[in-house]
Chains A and B, each alone.
Chain A
Amino acid sequence: MTVTVLLFASFADAFGRSSVELTLDSGATVADVVDQLSTLAPDDRLPPRPLVAVNAEYAEYDVRLNSGDEVALIPPVAGG
């Protein structure tokens, strides 16, 4: 299955783009997405356990993903 991963702020800078398509085994979890992205990130520029959202809601690492889900890596927020 494939999922789209959105990247923002410093994470987008690290990857040089604002989204990436990942192909995952069925039953894959949020943790699998982070693992796969960590191998793609240049120079260890991704922290070990970034916050993640699935379909625009914060999600734990054991959440199972479905094809077409929108996953987002959330850098430390700085609103206000």
Chain B
Amino acid sequence: MIRAALVSHPIDVGALIAEVADISTGATAVFAGTVRDANEGRPVSGIEYTAYATMAERELLRIAQEAARQFAPLRVVVEHRLGSLELGDVSVGIATAHAHRGPAIEGMRFVIEEIKRRVPIWKRECYVDGTREWVNQVGV
């Protein structure tokens, strides 16, 4: 099973784990990316996520399919949240399940690394001092 989605509601990591669960699997790996309170020394109050939604959803699904093929048979679910997130909110949730731990963990790692490399999603950090900046785009 493979599923990938952009969502605007809070991500329920437990639900993702339940979704990949299957009696054929002996290992489930989970990744939750969360909004932290500082970046490069600057106190952060929240993050706004935007995306090129049609392309981002397509790329997310493609990444999940690539992971499923590369670490077959792997069950994969991934959700990325868009909109305004507060400290501690889950921005990305990934669950993978495989018969064994190696492919489950490596498959999960593959999915998050590829998301960071190529899915057209952008984040603007909101700082405690009231300013906002796009991440990775300083000086652009």
Contact = CB atoms under 8 A, between A and B. Distances in A.
A79 B140 contact: no
9 contacts: A8-B52, A8-B120, A45-B140, A56-B54, A72-B55, A76-B136, A77-B122, A78-B134, A79-B122
Contacts, number: 79
Contacts of B135: 78
Interface in B26-60: 33, 49-52, 54-56, 58
Interface of B: 33, 49-52, 54-56, 58, 80, 91-92, 112, 115-124, 134-137, 140
B54 A78 contact: no
A74 B52 contact: yes
A79 B55 contact: no
A80 B137 contact: no
A80 B115 contact: yes
Contacts of B50: 8-9
A30 interface: no
Contact of A78 (B52, B55, B112, B136): B136
Main SS class of interface, B: mixed
A80 B136 contact: no
Contacts of A11: 140
A8 B49 CA distance: 11
A30 to B, nearest CB: 15
B127 to A, nearest CB: 16
Interface in A57-75: 57-58, 72, 74-75
A10 B52 contact: no
Given A53-B52, A53-B120, A77-B121, A10 B140 contact: yes
Nearest to B31: A80
Nearest to B92: A80
A74 B137 contact: no
